[in-house]
Amino acid sequence: MGMCSRQERIQKDIDVVIQKCKADKDCLFADFRYSDSTFTFTYIGGPRSVLQFHFSHHYNTYVSSSDNDEDVLVTTEPIPIIFQRIAAGVKTQ
């Protein structure tokens, strides 16, 4: 799998996340921004928090939050799965 196809997969995953959130009137996230190596969005269901996914060349995704930038999740899971887990965690708090 070359770099181009990885970028295409990331873009497709991000598009899926954004479309699902736009379709859900109760979505707790907004202000989606994407560049070649980052995907950033804002939690709007309480005190605002900016979350960021950073994509490495080693197929890892680093997830951090403006609330605690020292607590970084490192995963290889697809972006929609990571996003679902964040959303589920936020809704159960």
pLDDT tens digits, residue range 74-89?
Answer: 988 889 999 888 888 7
pLDDT, tens digit (0-9, with 9 covering 90-100), for 6-30? 788 889 999 999 999 999 999 989 9
State how far the Cα of 62 lies from the Cα of 46, in Å rounded to an integer.
23
Cα angle for residues 72, 73, 79 (degrees, 5° grid): 125
Candidates 87, 85, 78, 77; CA nearest to 9 is 78
pLDDT at 3: 52
Q: Quick check: pTM over 0.85?
A: no
State how far the Cα of 56 lies from the Cα of 73, in Å rounded to an integer.
13
On the CB side of 35, how many CA atoms lie within 13 Å of its CA?
6
Query: Which two tokens mark 40?
Result: 């950033």
pLDDT, tens digit (0-9, with 9 covering 90-100), for 37-52? 899 999 998 888 899 9
